[in-house]
Amino acid sequence: MTTTLIKNAAWVVAWDAGAGRHVYLNDADVAFTDGTLTHVGPSFIGTADRTIDGRGRMVMPGLVNIHAHPSSEPMSKGFMDEVGSAGLYMSSLYEYMPLFRPDPEGVKACVLVALSELLLSGVTTVADLSMAHDGWLDILGESGIRACVAPMYRSARWYTSNGHEVRYEWNEAAGREAFDNALRLIDLARQHPSGRLFGMVCPAQIDTCSAELLNDSIAVARERNVPFQLHAAQSVVEFQEITRRHGKTPIQWLEQLGVLGPSTIIGHGIFLDHHSWVHWPTRRDLDLLADTGTSVAHCPTVFQRRGITLQSAGAYLRRGINLGLGTDTYPHNLLEEIRSAAYLSRTTAGDVGDIRTTDLFNAATLGGAKALGRDDIGRLAPGMRADLAIVDVTLPAMRPLRDPIRSLVYAAAERAVRDVFVDGLQVVDNGRVTTLDYPAAAEALEEAQRRAESRVPGIDYAGRTHLEVSPLTFDRA
């Protein structure tokens, strides 16, 4: 039993159980024994094995990221920043994303880079939505992060052969086999010796999964009492495909199937029936999500690159929908997602009061914890897991210091995160990841990206080179 004390922290984002909200404390102590918080408040009385000077520091709950793709997205840096298919409503899913997939060595480098970025930005829990890959669980365990393992599977793959039409190649047997393998991985995650892994049932996309696979998936998620997540309402192409097949919006079809509910997370949930791009006559989707207790994983950065946004995140919250945040793409930096979510929602709503920093910090902590079915993370209070981040409030980018969370979100971001603990174990020390070799992983990822470039002409339907698909900002002289 080892007790760590953070003494005289200048600021603490603490949990007020009576009010049911985060509050600021000044000149307070935070103590934890092994992986459990034992004291949050003034004047800790007791013996500590390690004392950390909290002067000039803010202690806050670790952030909860409910939607990320660590095994692939870091590979796309520099490729996918400015591409989208004009013939497919600006989405990059169908024409571009399949071109830049990592090889097995590259997958490992992707994961190590993503996990490093997450930890450095104060994320202590991540939902890892990936296709199964070698060493997955052990890498997560070694990183020290708390991870919800979500092996994706599907009944069909999508493709385009012209950049303006999406087709589907179905293989129900392969989808069923991948589903069975995913359930085995979820069991292994729960049994992992790190004690920090748990599972999620995750059929990949609403348009690539049969009704039977979705029905069986939600049934087993409820039977095992684990969360369920599905990409849905993420593109106009998908919206139109589902309405063509079923005469209903994606959300309304999921409601018909019985998929919506308190354990369900909709990945993205942008193109609901009220969205101006879809011109659908009903206005039921927000109510269906709220009334069933379904959560939405909001990931603004990957869409804003293509001029796409969830129109008014504040409207989702006002309707009573539980909102969590995810990175989805590079960089895996949830602080930047909070900032983007604030700016985009206010812009599309035309109202600075549409959503507040309070709402989005809550989404990145409390909302994420609720979506993942966890009542022991996302807040600093005795009895909670010791998942926390320590921020340097003396950093010039944090000053002038009036409101430290605003300074962190809108100015300093991950540069001010100095130390991170997960389950009481330190995984970031003075701005350096202690559990992973981030520089070596970044170098390996760059080598994997060069290998991927040579494969692009053989994958692209038009035989284009990577420079034709995604030209550099400036031509080489």
| CATH value at residue 274 | 3.20.20.140
What are the tokens at 206? 């609403």
Contacts of 402 (CB under 8 A, 6+ apart): none
**Are residues 72 and 47 both part of a single domain?**
no
**215 pLDDT higher than 90:** yes
In a domain, 438, yes or no: no
Helices (H) and strands (E) in the chain, counts: 15, 20
Confidence (pLDDT) at 398: 98
Tens of pLDDT along 313-334?
999 999 999 999 999 999 999 9
Q: Is the pLDDT of residue 1 over 90?
A: no
My answer on whether 367 and 386 are in the same domain is: no
pLDDT at position 211, please?
Answer: 98
356-391 tens-digit pLDDT: 999 999 999 999 999 999 999 999 999 999 999 999
Model pLDDT for residues 232-252, shown as the tens digit of each residue: 999 999 999 999 999 999 999
Q: How many domains are there within the chain?
A: 2
Task: Report if residue 167 sits inside a domain.
Answer: yes
H or E element at residue 61: strand 57-61
pLDDT for residue 123 is more than 90: yes
Residue 186 belongs to what H/E stretch?
A: helix 172-190
Domain that holds residue 283: 67-371
Q: Where are the alpha helices (DSSP H) in 277-386?
A: 285-292, 300-304, 313-319, 334-349, 357-362, 368-371
Least confident stretch, 96-100, 145-149, 246-250, 254-258: 96-100
156 confidence band (pLDDT: 50, 70, 90): very high
Residues 82 and 19 in one domain: no
Q: Are 105 and 23 within one domain? A: no
Residue 477: pLDDT band with limits 50, 70, 90:
very high
Q: Do 336 and 273 fall within a single domain?
A: yes
Q: What pLDDT digit, counting tens, does each position of 265-277 carry?
A: 999 999 999 999 9
pLDDT at site 475: 94
26 & 84 share domain:
no
In the prediction, which pLDDT does 355 show? 97
Does the residue 362 lie in any domain? yes
- Do 407 and 291 have their domain in common? no
Residues 336-348 have pLDDT tens digits of: 999 999 999 999 9
